[in-house]
Structures are given as C-alpha cells and as structure tokens.
A = this chain, B = another copy of it.
Amino acid sequence: MLYPGTVGNETPTASAERAETEAIEEVLALVRRNGGRATPARRLLLKALFGTGEHRSAEELAAEVHAQAPDVHLSTIYRNLEELERLGVIDSTRLGGGPATYHLATAAHGHLVCEKCGSMTEVPDDMFRDLIQTASTEYGFAINPHRFAVTGRCANCR
C-alpha cells in the first residue's frame, strides 16, 4: 500500500519521523556552528520538543527524555533549554504561578491564555498584524509574535 507524499513503500508515520529527524539534525548543525556539540541528551530533548504537545515545562520534557535516558539530569535540561532559547530555536512563556513552559519557535503564533482554567488557545500570526504595525510606528517597539501571550477568559469560563 502506498500513501501520497511518501517515498517508496514508507508509511506516513515513518515519513514524518524522517522529517523530524532531519529538523533535529538541522538544529544540531546550528548548535555546532555556535561552538556547541551534538550530545545524546540534546538530541533527546529536541526530539521531545519536536514531538506532540506544544507547551511543556522543563519537568515534563525531562520525563520524556527519561523514557530513553533515565540519567539525564534536570539541570542538563535547563541548561539546554537556555541554550536553545538563546539560539532562537525555542521560546519560553511564564504564566500563572506554575513553571515556565517551552515550545518550538518555528511556527509564528500568539497565545490566548485563560486565567481561570489555564487552557491555551493558539491563534494565527495575522491576528496581530495591526497591533504589531502600531507598536512599531508609534513606539518603535518590535513585537516578537512568538512570545505573544494574552490573558483573559476562554469561551468556556466566561
């Protein structure tokens, strides 16, 4: 059985995995270009970040990494997250009283965060186009749409 968009007799899942691996290797190349090294811990963290589930805390990411390598320490996770954020690969968001959450910076998007139930709705970039424009012309401020978070009440909690 052949699926559209696959190569040879590869399944869609296998195809997606291959694309993900490529993306990870690209990031690792970027890391190397900046004097960093491609370690197993870093690979596993990136795999967790590229996997399903958008916004996760350091602890949650560590749990995923631990499934493959139980010895990776939480401090290593933090150090790598810091590095990846510095390189612009990921963004972090701090909301409510809980821990910071991290996610890939690839897809430009903003967040609507409910202050009651904590749910997070992602909205497309162009919803902020006017605001970004005004901030730039009137205040000289360049909004980073990746780190855009707005709080309020979601549809369920209103």
> Dominant SS at the A interface?
mixed
In the complex the two chains form, is A141's CB within 8 Å of B135's CB? no
On whether the beta carbons of A123 and B139 are closer than 8 Å, the reply is yes
Q: Does A147 contact B (CB under 8 A)?
A: yes
A63 to B141, CA, bound (A): 32
Copy count, this protein chain: 2
A139 CA / B112 CA spacing, docked (Å): 9
Q: What residues of chain B lie closer than 8 Å to A140, measured between beta carbons? A: 154-155, 158
Q: Which B residues are CB-close (under 8 A) to A134?
A: 127
Given known contacts A94-B94, A94-B95, A147-B151, A112 and B141 CB-to-CB distance under 8 angstroms: yes
Complex CA gap A121/B158 in Å reads: 29
Residue total for A at the interface (Cβ-Cβ under 8 A) = 31
* Inter-chain contact A155/B130, CB cutoff 8 Å: no
Query: Contacts A123-B135, A127-B131, A127-B134 hold; do A151 and B158 have CB atoms under 8 A apart?
Result: no
**Can you identify 26 A-B contacts, CB atoms within 8 angstroms?**
A94-B95, A94-B96, A112-B139, A112-B141, A114-B141, A121-B139, A121-B141, A123-B138, A123-B139, A127-B131, A127-B134, A130-B131, A131-B131, A135-B152, A139-B154, A140-B155, A140-B158, A141-B152, A142-B152, A143-B150, A143-B152, A144-B151, A144-B152, A147-B150, A147-B152, A148-B151
**Footprint of B on A, CB under 8 Å?**
94-96, 112, 114-115, 121, 123, 127-128, 130-131, 134-135, 138-144, 147-155, 158
Given contacts A123-B139, A140-B154, A143-B150, 4 further A-B contacts (CB under 8 A): A128-B131, A140-B155, A141-B152, A141-B154
